[in-house]
Every structure is written in structure tokens, then in C-alpha cells.
Amino acid sequence: MKKILIGNWKLNCSLEKIKWVSGFRREDFKKIECCVAVPYTHITTAKTDFPSFIKVCAQDCSKYEEGAYTGEVSAKMLKEIGVEYVIIGHSERRRYFDEDNSAIGEKVKRCLLSDIKVVLCVGESEEERNKQLVLNVIEEQIKSVAEKLSDMAIIRMDVAYEPVWAIGTGKIPTLHQIEYAVKHLKTFMNANRIVGRILYGGSVSLRNFKLISEIAYVDGLLVGNASLEEDFIEMAREIK
């Protein structure tokens, strides 16, 4: 399976950015699978304008299947407009929208039942790291999702390790710390019937992406700010 590179545009998008991606060259992305997570409002335009080798990803979805939930967008709706991947449980959703492990598990379930591929985000806060709770936090986040999917013999989804304290801060764990976390994350995935790739996310840049992508068990990168710049294309070309 190819490594995966996901650009998360968050609340940053314009038609000009969509046009920029439409000009991407296949030869720059031939070594990897690539997705770009755009806001809901730009999904249909991205599906029309993105080249076929760039997959459209949503940044979230509702935990509800349907009903009187104003402002929500369901996994079924995303599937109908051609979304192939959804990011679930990003630290910013957990932090700013009070999403807990139970809600995140429901969202994962909705996506998988709608035949949408999931990228589940897990990771510890700075306080949790200082208390040496990194593995406890990751294991609980993985376990709580698996419990929502108890009727599935195998859970197929990718998982992104993103230390909360590294998101958008420029701070990053050491290579040893990343390797330690993802090694145990792989163990937790295996123990909970989860089959998929492991990504790293958190202040990924041109300065560090090569070294991170060479770490054992790291099968891809979840990129924030750098995915809005030409740096993203260079990452696609040079990722190990």
C-alpha cells in the first residue's frame, strides 16, 4: 500500500486555491496517495476541478445519520457528493467543539457504514505528556472507537498521531518520541482489530517531513499550513 499525504486546509480555502490544485501534475504525486481536506462549501467544486489523482477529503461529519440537527452534515450526504475520506477526531474538534471519544466513535461508525474511508486523529495534550500519559491517552482513544464498532470483525481505517501541543505551534516531538508513540499505536490498533496506515501530523514542514516519513510505522503525513503552499508539492515528490 502506498504512503498517504493529506492536506488539511481547515478554515482556509478559496476558489483560487481550488484552481491551484487543479494544476497539480501527476508526475509529482505518482509515489503516494494524496488527499486534500477542504471545507464543506468547496467539496463539490473540488470534486469537479481536482485532478483524478487528488482525492477529496472532508474535515468532519455528523455523528447523526439524519434528523432535526440544524447545521449538521451526515456521512451519507458526503458519500452522495463523492467524498472518499473524512478526518475524524482532529484535536481542534476535540478542543473547540468539546467532542469526546464517544461522539468520535459514532462519527467513525457513520462513515464506515457509508463506505467512506476514515482518518482517525489521536494524540495527547502537553499536560498529558508532562504527566507521562501519552500511551494511556492514545490507547483510550483507540479503544473507545473500537467499542462503538463491536459488530465489525475488522475495522479498516487509517489513524493519525497528532500531539495536540504540536498542532500549528511549530513545536514537534523528537524523532524518538514519535517512533515510541507510533510503535505503541500500532500495537493498540492490532489489539482492537484496526487495520490501516499510521500518519503523523503536527507542525509538519519542509524542514522535518523527510525524517518523519522515514520513521518505522509512519505510513503518511497529515499536513496543515504547509498544504496551502508550494511546499506541499515538494513533500509529495520527496516523501520517503
The candidate with the shortest Cα–Cα distance to 26, out of 46, 56, 51, is: 51
The candidate with the shortest Cα–Cα distance to 164, out of 137, 191, 197, 136, is: 137
Give first-to-last CA distance, the chain, whole Å.
13
Phi-psi region of 67 (alpha: psi -120 to 50; beta: other; left: phi over 0): left
Asked about 66 being catalytic, the answer comes back as no
Q: Which of 92, 99, 106, 162 is catalytic?
A: 162
Task: For residue 146, report the phi and psi dihedrals to the nearest 5 degrees.
Answer: -60, -35
User: Where do we find the cell 516523501?
Assistant: 239
- Collapse the DSSP code of 11 into the 3-class scheme (helix H, G, I; strand E, B; otherwise coil) and give the result: coil
Task: Check residue 193 and report its DSSP letter.
Answer: T
CB atoms within 10 A of CB 1: 9
For 30, residues 6+ apart whose C-beta sits below 8 A from its C-beta are 53
Task: For residue 115, report the phi and psi dihedrals to the nearest 5 degrees.
Answer: 65, 40
Q: Which of 90, 92, 106, 124 is catalytic?
A: 90
Asked about 84 being catalytic, the answer comes back as no
CB atoms within 10 A of CB 94: 20
- Residue pair 3/197 in contact (Cβ under 8 Å)? The answer is yes
- Residue pair 121/107 in contact (Cβ under 8 Å)? The answer is no
Residues labelled as active-site residues = 90, 162
